[in-house]
Structure 1
Amino acid sequence: MPTLKVTVGERDRLDQRTRSRIEAAQEGEDLEPAQPVLNFDSYGALSRLLSPKNLELLEVISEHEPGSIRDAAELVDRDYKQVHRNLTELADIGVIELEGGGPGQAKEPKLSYDGLEIDIPFARSNGIAGSAAP
């Protein structure tokens, strides 16, 4: 499994990188597989992914491979509904997958990546972060 690169406010740069890769592929260049990237619009949105409860769930999935959301909830000693909500959010952004879940089947949380690589440069021209005016 690859590592997921997580960024904040990098949409323009990522769009340009994607366009460059498309052009290179159209010109017949051999391309290395691109690292998957998850970009958040704000630090607040990123903080939801990096909440202690979500990080604990990711660690439990990695170490214990729970067979269901209920098993994951028991491993972290939290309410099923809260864990279900957190895991659904993580699945919605692609950090995990919820496999199964057909009639009478439990949804099994599975990691989509080996880890997260957080990339947060502090100097920005897009207003996410930067120096204050004197």
Structure 2
Amino acid sequence: MTENQTLEVRLDSDEQHSELLEDIRALERGEEVDERHVLVLDNEKELQRLLSPSNLALLRAIRHHEPESMRGAADLVGRDFKEVHRNLTELDALNVIDLQEDGRSKRPVVRFDEIDIELSLDADDADAATV
């Protein structure tokens, strides 16, 4: 990865929706819109899962060592292949990593070098109280 990429992580909010609508309107007017990579999660449990110590260790290991396969990533973190496969599949579904096909294996590539988290402490969300 040649250019620093930041992933913005937010919980579902009205502010996020209004920013998205404004970006759409700007594009319709032919205006340039800054490229942003935003992951909107539904609740704090999803945020907690994304940022679990095992997922962070996995992301860091992949980012620094660039394993050739999912099995190689599992070996790097010293975890069971099935667990790592499940974690990588979830991270791929969230577009936090890419799983690039390389013959019979899939090579995990971390898409970002930084994750910024936006979390309101004023949330009325019932999930916020259960985390």
TM-score tier after normalising by the smaller chain length: 0.7 to 0.9
Normalising by the residue count of structure 2, what TM-score does the alignment of the two structures yield?
A: 0.86
Structure 1 regions of 5+ residues with no counterpart? none
Normalising by the residue count of structure 1, what TM-score does the alignment of the two structures yield?
A: 0.84
More helix by share: 2
Q: Deviations over 1:27-55 (max 9, x none)?
A: 2333332x211111111111110111100
Q: Deviations over 1:75-98 (max 9, x none)?
A: 111111111011111101110011
Within 2, Cα distance between the matches of 1:36 and 1:57?
A: 20
| Number of residue pairs the alignment of both structures matches | 126
Select the residue among 4, 7, 10 that pairs with 1:4: 7
> Does the CA contact (< 8 Å) of 1:9 and 1:128 recur in 2?
no
Q: What amino acid does structure 2 have at the position aligned with 1:98?
A: L
Q: 1:30 to 1:82 in 2, by over 3 A?
A: closer
Within 2, Cα distance between the matches of 1:60 and 1:108?
A: 13
Structure 2 regions of 5+ residues with no counterpart? none
**Residue matched to 2:27:** 25
Q: What amino acid does structure 1 have at the position aligned with 2:11?
A: V
Q: Deviations over 1:49-83 (max 9, x none)?
A: 01111000000001100100111111111111111
Within 1, Cα distance between the matches of 2:93 and 2:87?
A: 10
Within 2, Cα distance between the matches of 1:30 and 1:85?
A: 38
Within 2, Cα distance between the matches of 1:21 and 1:75?
A: 40
> Does the CA contact (< 8 Å) of 2:43 and 2:128 recur in 1?
no
- Aligned with 1:67: secondary structure? coil
Within 2, Cα distance between the matches of 1:122 and 1:27?
A: 35
> Does the CA contact (< 8 Å) of 2:10 and 2:119 recur in 1?
yes
Q: 1:81 to 1:125 in 2, by over 3 A?
A: closer
Q: Give the RMSD, CA atoms, in angstroms.
A: 1.8
Taking every aligned residue pair, what percent have the same amino acid on both sides? 40
Within 2, Cα distance between the matches of 1:87 and 1:40?
A: 17
**Residue matched to 1:62:** 63
- Aligned with 1:123: secondary structure? coil
- Aligned with 1:28: secondary structure? coil
Give the number of the structure whose alpha-carbon radius of gyration is greater: 1
**Residue matched to 1:120:** 119
